[in-house]
Structure 1
């Protein structure tokens, strides 16, 4: 396990095409919005984090569709994502240490999201926002393990840690694809995967 969450000494992968795609989407074209006001009072308004990006709302990722997106994000190619959301007052550093100590996975770089809940943003959007903050402030690194590239992100403000996120490069790229698809396309894909799993089980039983 790393002595600190990310290593400043690690080389920035600026010349890598995948990193350029990641930093362009999560930083320069971050799809998040800051929510202010309320629907009931009629003064609800949204401020885009990036002037260059297409927002979640513009892509149709609202309401229940956000839950569909988050559900897909939690199921990575490397197993289920360790996803934990805590109140703002919680110690994210301590929570991260506890989760790592209690995890039984053999992969020390297992994927995880540990973050403080935001009152001005939904949980799905918050994950993207914290990655954006880490990239913007340079508090991230990339490491290589078993031929896989893993990213460590840490989002802080005024010395307080609000999120620690560890994801494989393949997951970061897949999340971009999920966002760029439509809610209906993602739902259809989930139905197709479930159908394929059922068919495989029937085939095994028949044998």
Structure 2
């Protein structure tokens, strides 16, 4: 499924996974999504996320769900498609030196058409041979 999802996007290097929340900054820089100012002018789909579920595909959907469910997204038109810029954050932990600051766990830039392709792939089920 992972390969099919990547193939359905316009960026075959779609995922930038961080093994720990502390690795997010470098993953965001590697994917050119660290600075989200002017994100609507970014020319590519990309998903940077903390691999919270030890499975990139499940983690990606976990963060997509959270971003939409908690209203941490914006939609815009570009290049003939509707795009979504989505973020997910983790709440503070007890004894966290960062205080009340929430930590970014995902930043995703994706086209609506890609999300629709993914829904079709998932609904079609596995290709068992």
> TM (normalized to structure 1)?
0.49
Bigger proportion of residues as helix: 1
> TM (normalized to structure 2)?
0.75
CA contact (8 A) 1:81 1:111 kept: no
| Pair 1:115-2:49 in alignment | yes
**Which ranges of 4 or more aligned residues in structure 1 deviate by more than 4 Å?**
none
Question: Which 5+ residue runs of structure 1 have no aligned equivalent?
Answer: 1-68, 102-106, 189-207
Corresponding residue number in structure 2 for 1:160: 103
Could you tell me how far apart the structure 2 residues matched to 1:86 and 1:77 are? Answer: 20
Corresponding residue number in structure 2 for 1:100: 32
CA contact (8 A) 1:92 1:164 kept: no
Corresponding residue number in structure 2 for 1:56: none
Could you tell me how far apart the structure 2 residues matched to 1:79 and 1:112 are? Answer: 7
CA contact (8 A) 1:134 1:155 kept: yes
Could you tell me how far apart the structure 1 residues matched to 2:119 and 2:13 are? Answer: 16
Corresponding residue number in structure 1 for 2:73: 140
CA contact (8 A) 1:88 1:162 kept: no
Question: Which 5+ residue runs of structure 2 have no aligned equivalent?
Answer: 34-40, 92-101
Could you tell me how far apart the structure 1 residues matched to 2:122 and 2:63 are? Answer: 16
Quickly say closer, same or farther: Cα 1:86–1:137, change in 2 above 3 A. same
Deviation for aligned residue 1:109: 3.3
Could you tell me how far apart the structure 1 residues matched to 2:9 and 2:57 are? Answer: 19
Q: Which has the larger radius of gyration?
A: 1
Aligned length, in residue pairs: 112
